[in-house]
């Protein structure tokens, strides 16, 4: 019996290595993988890598084992929530700071609530620098989060804990948020996918909608682009009382992935008064761009046309 359990665990670990969240959810849906087996395999992998990464703020294993997954598209898929301005009912929220002690808000962030309804199973929270104010995930409270590709290097920040765990294939995606690069920087450092949605596209209530003027946006670090698109389909849309409204979205971001991209437009500011341009860098790096005029994709516009 023990050998059988070990073989099942090894098979699931192999599936985790090969699958993004969309694929794992499909395996659960068709009955090839049981949610409890996937959960235990995920916990085992997290316990194996955490001593070298230091990416977890709080584990929620027993709560996850008791959680009844929602029936949404990601039913039974384990994930973690970043410990920064994103309350999770069963977890404390320290924002990476000793000052907040063991504070437990006792409610779900609206984005977290939508992930819960999508069927995600929360196994813990991930590290953040104190109040998210660093491009490396280091704090007095948790110490330094390390890069899984080279533990002598940083995982980036401020969503470094999430990026490190996704890159380690512990989970196929993990929650994060981004004001000035906090999803994109650690995704780049760890070789995974990080997208900052436009202001107002994803709900930011109840905590960060006003404090950052809408600049702080929640989303996720993912293994695949399609997971990021699928998560946007599930979580986008204003929450009640949202102070900002995003433009109308496509019917599906996942479907939009299959459409040919439109031609790109490149904006170039040649002079911004009252600051002088630096002649040599301009000559070396910017002037060659003028060759694109010959390709018919160049146009010059007044800055007034951008802001009016």
pLDDT score, position 285:
64
Across 192-202, average pLDDT: 94
SS3 label, residue 287? helix
**Active site annotation includes 252:** no
Pick the catalytic residue: 94, 128, 162, 182?
Answer: 182
Distance CA 259, CA 177 (A): 27
Distance CA 21, CA 76 (A): 10
**Active site annotation includes 94:** no
Band of the pLDDT at 238, cuts 50, 70, 90?
A: confident
pLDDT score, position 137:
99
pLDDT above 90 as % of the chain: 68
Structure token digits, residue 207? 């905590």
Mean residue pLDDT of the chain comes to 88
Distance CA 39, CA 227 (A): 19
**Active site annotation includes 5:** no
Across 277-281, average pLDDT: 63
Asked whether residue 64 carries a pLDDT value surpassing 60, the answer given is: yes
pLDDT above 70 as % of the chain: 83
Pick the catalytic residue: 139, 154, 158, 159?
Answer: 158
Task: Write the CA distances from 170 to 13, 39, 43, 100, integer angstroms.
Answer: 9, 10, 8, 28
Please compute, for residue 21, the number of CA atoms within 13 A of its CA located in the half-sphere on the CB side. Answer: 33
Distance CA 29, CA 35 (A): 10
Task: Parse the chain into domains and list their residue ranges.
Answer: 2-256, 263-308
End-to-end CA distance of the chain: 71
Distance CA 118, CA 76 (A): 9
Say if domain 2-256 classifies as CATH 3.30.310.50: no
pLDDT score, position 206:
75
Which of the pair, 201 or 284, is modelled with greater confidence? 201
Band of the pLDDT at 298, cuts 50, 70, 90?
A: very low
How many C-beta atoms lie closer than 10 Å to residue 125's C-beta?
A: 27
Band of the pLDDT at 215, cuts 50, 70, 90?
A: confident
Distance CA 166, CA 2 (A): 29
Band of the pLDDT at 225, cuts 50, 70, 90?
A: very high
pLDDT score, position 251:
87
User: Looking at 2-11, 130-139, 145-154, which range is the least confident one?
Assistant: 2-11
Element (H, E) at 194: strand 193-194
Distance CA 206, CA 111 (A): 10
Band of the pLDDT at 294, cuts 50, 70, 90?
A: very low
Pick the catalytic residue: 82, 128, 134, 236?
Answer: 82
């Amino acid at each position: 019996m023990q050998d059988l359990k070990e073989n099942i665990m090894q098979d699931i670990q192999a599936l985790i290595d090969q699958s993004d969240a969309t694929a794992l959810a499909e395996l659960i849906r068709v009955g090839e993988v049981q949610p409890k087996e996937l959960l235990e395999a995920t916990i085992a992998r997290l316990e194996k890598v955490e001593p070298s990464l230091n990416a977890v703020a709080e584990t929620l294993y027993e709560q996850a084992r008791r959680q009844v997954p929602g029936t949404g598209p990601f039913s039974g898929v384990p994930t973690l929530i970043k410990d920064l301005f994103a309350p999770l009912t069963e977890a404390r929220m320290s924002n990476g700071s000793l000052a907040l002690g063991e504070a437990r808000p006792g409610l779900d962030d609206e984005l977290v609530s939508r992930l819960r309804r999508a069927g995600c199973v929360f196994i813990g929270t991930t590290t953040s620098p104190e109040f998210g104010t660093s491009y490396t995930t280091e704090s007095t409270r948790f110490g330094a989060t390390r890069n899984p590709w080279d533990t002598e290097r940083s995982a980036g920040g401020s969503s470094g804990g999430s990026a490190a765990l996704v890159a380690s294939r512990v989970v196929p995606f993990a929650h994060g948020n981004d004001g000035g690069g906090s999803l994109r920087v650690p995704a780049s450092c760890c070789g995974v996918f990080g997208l900052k949605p436009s202001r107002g596209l994803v709900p930011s209530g109840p905590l960060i909608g006003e404090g950052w003027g809408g600049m702080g946006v929640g989303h996720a670090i993912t293994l695949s682009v399609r997971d990021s698109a699928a998560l946007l389909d599930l979580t986008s849309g204003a929450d009640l009382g949202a102070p900002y409204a995003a433009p109308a979205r496509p019917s599906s971001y996942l479907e939009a992935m299959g459409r040919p991209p439109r031609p790109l437009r490149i904006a170039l500011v040649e002079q911004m008064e009252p600051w002088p341009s630096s002649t040599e860098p301009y000559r070396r790096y910017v002037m060659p761009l003028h060759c694109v005029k010959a390709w018919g994709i160049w146009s010059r516009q007044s800055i007034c046309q951008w802001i009016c």
